[in-house]
Amino acid sequence: MIDTHSHILPAIDDGADDLSESIGFVKKAAGQGVDTIFATPHACDGVFNSTKDNILQSCDALTDALNAKGISTRVLPGAEIRLNHDLVMEYDKGNLLTLNNSGRWLLIELPAMFMIKAVSMMIRQLKDRGVTPIIAHAERNPMILNKPGLISDFTYNGAVIQITAASLSGDFGRFSMKAAKTMAVMDQVFCLGSDIHPGRRYRMADARKKLIRLLGRTKADMITHENPAVILEEAENLFCKNQGLP
């Protein structure tokens, strides 16, 4: 499985406190069948403003520490970027870290209240630049819970939807659980993220079981592996192109 949202980098946001906690999260993920984790610290959220350079360096350091311990789980860089007025401008300046630094996928957290038209416009502006926004934990957003039709607006404009694994187990309340299941049944979910923080349970394996029960194995595989694998393939293709490789 591929976990597309986590706070496992040490002492960079409200995620792992130190390297041993980071390694503990990765071991938990590996034990649940996760082979690739995107480390996505909070960025632009007014409290935690991790920068692209900090995240890339921290991700490399964690990878070195994992290698030294013989842990083969891949940790790839990313960021959970809070929606803000300057988001597209900051992207154009090269300040926002896309998933795997590929310039193709941006993980975006919507605030509790937002202007619907502004979000739709931001999605279209990013798509014009070849970037697909991934809307983080859509099932936990109060405006989306009140108006589930927003999901279709966002996907129509070109975004994809991520839900939190633990929402399917009810860890974020029954409304989010119901919304997550409904989105899954309606084929609106592109990928899963643990959004792991200290104090939360790592639920990727539970989520996979629940998705299999709800949708069958083929669709569960798409959400937990095949869809997010496209993020990696595009990154690898881009790397080859940049290196002049076939």
Of 115, 99, 107, give the one whose Cα is nearest residue 163. Answer: 107
Instruction: Name the minimum Å distance from CB 17 to Fe ion.
Output: 16
Q: Is the dihedral of CA 117, 146, 191, 37 positive or negative?
A: positive
Binding map of Fe ion across residues 165-204, x = CB under 5 A, - = no contact:
------------------------------x---------
Return the C-alpha torsion angle 167, 18, 58, 165, nearest 10.
Answer: -10
Binding map of Fe ion across residues 136-155, x = CB under 5 A, - = no contact:
--------------------
Q: Which is nearer to Fe ion, 82 or 208 (CB)?
A: 82
Instruction: Name the minimum Å distance from CB 181 to Fe ion.
Output: 20
Q: Which is nearer to Fe ion, 3 or 234 (CB)?
A: 3
Return the C-alpha torsion angle 138, 141, 147, 148, nearest 10.
Answer: 20
| Residues 42-81 close enough to bind Fe ion by CB under 5 A | 80
Looking at the chain, the number of H-run helices and the number of E-run strands are 10, 9
Instruction: Name the minimum Å distance from CB 7 to Fe ion.
Output: 6
Q: Which is nearer to Fe ion, 109 or 234 (CB)?
A: 109
Q: Which is nearer to Fe ion, 3 or 80 (CB)?
A: 80
Q: Are 37 and 73 in contact (CB under 8 A)?
A: yes
Q: Tell me the number of residues near Fe ion by CB under 5 A.
A: 2
Name the region of 9 (left: φ>0; alpha: ψ -120 to 50; beta: rest): beta
Instruction: Name the minimum Å distance from CB 195 to Fe ion.
Output: 4
Neighbours of 73 (CB within 10 A): 18
Q: Which is nearer to Fe ion, 139 or 195 (CB)?
A: 195
Which residues form the interface with Fe ion (CB under 5 A)? 80, 195
